[in-house]
Chain A
Amino acid sequence: MSALAPHFSYWVTLFLMVAGLYILIARGNLVKKLIGLAVLQSSVYLLYIAPGKLLGGTAPIVAAGFSTYSNPLPHVLILTAIVVGVATLALGLAITVRIREAYGSIEEDEILERDRAEGR
């Protein structure tokens, strides 16, 4: 237990990761898969940001009266990751909308079935 205690901040990451991956693989609905993907991506946020926190510190905006700041570099990286995440989500949803229009369904197995019926 003593080995695990200093690393509790990663448990949340792990839980989110399992949840995201699980929704992504197990569910057949295309929108739901995208939400799983978004949860998976957001699990990374804590992996980067939590270790950057220093107890007794403050947000990295330099001002008189503070000397300890949390680490700004992970913040910058995750800002990028969030924006990349929403960009991917937007594109994924656009493709899903087109799939719905072309196949009349957004369930993975029904789409595969229709493709098979067409004989590739």
Chain B
Amino acid sequence: MALQRDLFSVVVLFAIYSFLMATVLVALDAVDVAMTEAAVGAGASTVLLLGALHLTGAREAKRMERPLVPLALSIVVAAVLGWGSLGLPAFSDPGAPIHTHVVPRYLNDGPRETGVPNIVAAVLASYRGYDTLGETVVVFAAGAGVIALLRRRKRR
């Protein structure tokens, strides 16, 4: 993806990547997230990218000068994260803090307290409903922002 210079293929690759991500998410039992990634990441993003490419031209100019500095920089950032992740609980450890704190209430009492057996929906819309309000506002901000930027002029 980094080397491909035809932006159209980059976008197609990106869509494929998003679908792969969605399948990985299904394998991780995150079905709601997978569905969103498939709809939003692979669907909406691709449509937007193609729409934009239509307006900007789909050919990248050329070259890739001094590619080592950015590479070193990104590897340093990833190394910090990698070093930090060594201290995290092992994969699928039921005793990890994320499984023993806060979440048990959602799983045990969620269906009774909210009447919704899909815990993701219960947490999304009720326990952390305020986050979702913020998220809706983010979508609204993007929509209104794009109107402000791209609305066609009446005259000229």
Residues of A that sit less than 8 Å from B by CB? 3-4, 6-11, 13-15, 17-23, 25-32, 35, 38-39, 42, 45-47, 49-55, 57-63, 68-80, 82-91, 93-98, 100, 106-107, 110
Contact = CB atoms under 8 A, between A and B. Distances in A.
B145 A26 contact: no
Contacts of A58: 29
Interface string B66-87: 0100110111011001100110
> Looking at chain A's contact residues, is the secondary structure mostly helix, strand, loop, or mixed?
helix
Interface string B6-46: 01001100100110010011001111110011001100110
Interface residue range, chain B: 35 or more
A23 B30 contact: no
Q: Is the interface of B mostly helix, strand, loop or mixed?
A: helix
A28 B36 contact: no
Contacts of A21: 70, 73-74, 77-78
B142 to A, nearest CB: 4
B92 to A, nearest CB: 4
Contacts of B70: 21-22, 25-26
Contacts, number: 245
Given A10-B81, A52-B29, 8 more contacts: A10-B88, A27-B2, A62-B118, A75-B32, A80-B132, A86-B44, A88-B142, A106-B56
A50 B30 CA distance: 9
B71 A75 contact: no
Closest A-B pairs by Cβ, 10 of them: A6-B90, A21-B74, A87-B142, A25-B70, A70-B29, A26-B70, A93-B52, A10-B85, A72-B119, A60-B119
Given A8-B91, A22-B70, A100 B57 contact: yes
Given A52-B28, A70-B28, A98-B150, A76 B128 contact: yes
